[in-house]
């Protein structure tokens, strides 16, 4: 914010959700997919989408104002980014991940209550097996995001010469499938809750990696890892947990990875002073409205916890923008 008195940034923050809501509504209504069929007037879009023509006109105007569609005469077309990322069926379609943000959206409206009481009103279990369609949205959302992030992650996660990877909280299994496909001799176990692995098995099979990647039901609160591994990956998991649970999970991994083994932790991480960056601070809050124990951790904190369970940090890398992930590499000491 500016150092001179200026309410503009405050007002812009107060209404920033308008743009979000506009995008989520358009994705839910598949407007970009309908526009991909050809330029259309608001009435034609409404006919394709089965929506109210007057309200559709207002939504298209708002979408044009944020640059997601273009108006040519009385007809609208998708802007280039919208055509690439928001049309169902395109390989780069981001819909499931955006729809997941839409599911979380009402919870942010109760943020003050969460902070006042410390109580979370959503059950994360809904996304983790309890509600079949939300779980499917969530797991496919993770898969689509992982397809994008995976290329950058694979540049940093080097498993050459490793044979058995434990992908703890591996979700859709996308990273395991990609890593197994690019690393000769590597097999991977995707370890996640039963409702999730039912869907990951499907995804790993679609990716053609089912012969090298197994998806096994696993609960890191209750279970030991189901074997010994010379490599482990914990990606996007620790932001759901407070420090004592993080330490427990790291301990379980240490018990299953003998000396010389390698552990990669990939996640949104706060700076060591825990004062930023902004994305990580907001992401931590998103996790806090969603899951009672949500929290982002700093590299310094994780270095200390890893050290306590027998891992030494050997490298820390930041994935390139717009990916907000930091990757810690650690080796199991003897």
Ligand X SMILES: C[S@@+](CC[C@H](N)C(=O)[O-])C[C@H]1O[C@@H](n2cnc3c(N)ncnc32)[C@H](O)[C@@H]1O
The set of catalytic residues is: 239
Cβ distance to ligand X smaller for residue 130 or 272: 130
Cβ distance to ligand X smaller for residue 61 or 108: 108
Distance CA 188, CA 231 (A): 9
Q: How many helices (H) and strands (E) does the chain have?
A: 14, 9
Cβ distance to ligand X smaller for residue 76 or 218: 218
Binding site for ligand X (CB under 6 A): 128, 142, 146, 169-171, 192-193, 196, 218-221, 235-237, 240
Cβ distance to ligand X smaller for residue 62 or 142: 142
Helix (H, G, I), strand (E, B) or coil at 192: strand
**How much of the chain is in helix, strand and coil states, percent to nearest 5?**
50, 15, 35
Nearest-approach distance from CB 82 to ligand X, in angstroms: 25
**Residues ≥6 apart with Cβ < 8 Å to 23:** 63, 66, 68, 98
List alpha helices for the chain, DSSP H.
8-14, 16-28, 31-36, 42-49, 53-65, 80-85, 95-108, 111-117, 132-156, 174-182, 194-206, 243-256, 278-290, 299-309
Nearest-approach distance from CB 144 to ligand X, in angstroms: 10
Which residue lies nearest ligand X, judged by its C-beta?
Answer: 171
Distance CA 146, CA 176 (A): 10
> Going by DSSP bridges, is the β-strand pair 326-332/311-318 parallel, antiparallel, or unpaired?
antiparallel
> Going by DSSP bridges, is the β-strand pair 164-168/231-235 parallel, antiparallel, or unpaired?
parallel
Cβ distance to ligand X smaller for residue 95 or 171: 171
Going from the C-alpha of 324 to that of each of 94, 170, 187, 321, 333, the distances in angstroms are: 17, 18, 28, 6, 29
Nearest-approach distance from CB 167 to ligand X, in angstroms: 7
Cβ distance to ligand X smaller for residue 34 or 240: 240
Helix (H, G, I), strand (E, B) or coil at 72: strand
Cβ distance to ligand X smaller for residue 68 or 287: 287
Nearest-approach distance from CB 61 to ligand X, in angstroms: 35
Q: List 168's β-bridge partners, or say none.
A: 191, 234
Nearest-approach distance from CB 248 to ligand X, in angstroms: 11
Going from the C-alpha of 96 to that of each of 52, 162, 170, 182, the distances in angstroms are: 24, 33, 18, 26
Query: Closest Cα partner for 96 from 81, 107, 86, 82?
Result: 86
H-helix or E-strand containing 324?
none
Nearest-approach distance from CB 122 to ligand X, in angstroms: 14
Nearest-approach distance from CB 118 to ligand X, in angstroms: 20
């Amino acid at each position: 914010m500016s150092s001179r008195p200026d309410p503009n940034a405050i007002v812009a923050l107060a209404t920033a959700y308008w743009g979000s809501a506009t995008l989520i509504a358009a994705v839910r209504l598949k407007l970009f997919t309908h526009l991909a069929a050809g330029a259309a007037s608001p009435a034609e879009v409404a006919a394709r989408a089965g929506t109210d023509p007057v309200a559709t006109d207002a939504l298209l105007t708002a979408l044009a104002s944020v640059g997601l569609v273009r108006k040519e005469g009385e007809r609208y077309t998708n802007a280039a980014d919208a055509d690439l990322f928001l049309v169902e069926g395109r390989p780069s379609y981001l819909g499931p991940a955006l729809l997941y943000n839409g599911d979380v959206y009402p919870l942010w409206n109760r943020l003050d209550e969460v902070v006042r009481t410390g109580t979370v009103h959503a059950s994360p279990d809904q996304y983790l097996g309890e509600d079949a369609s939300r779980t499917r949205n969530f797991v496919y959302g993770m898969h689509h995001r992982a397809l994008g992030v995976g290329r950058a992650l694979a540049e940093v996660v080097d498993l050459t010469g490793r044979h058995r990877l434990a992908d703890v909280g591996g979700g859709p299994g996308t990273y395991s499938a990609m890593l197994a496909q690019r690393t000769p001799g590597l097999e991977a176990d995707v370890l996640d809750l039963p409702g999730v692995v039912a869907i990951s098995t499907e995804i790993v099979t679609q990716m053609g990696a089912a012969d090298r990647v197994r998806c096994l039901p696993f609960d890191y609160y209750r279970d030991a890892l189901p074997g010994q591994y010379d490599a482990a990956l914990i990606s996007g998991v620790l932001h759901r947990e407070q420090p004592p649970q993080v330490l427990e999970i790291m301990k379980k991994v240490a018990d299953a990875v003998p000396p010389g083994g390698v552990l990669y932790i990939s996640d949104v991480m706060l700076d060591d002073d825990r004062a930023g960056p902004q994305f990580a601070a907001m992401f931590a809050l998103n996790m806090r409205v969603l899951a009672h124990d949500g929290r982002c951790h700093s590299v310094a904190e994780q270095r200390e916890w890893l050290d306590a369970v027998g891992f030494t940090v050997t490298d820390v890398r930041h994935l390139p923008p717009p990916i907000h992930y930091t990757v810690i590499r650690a080796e199991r000491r003897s």
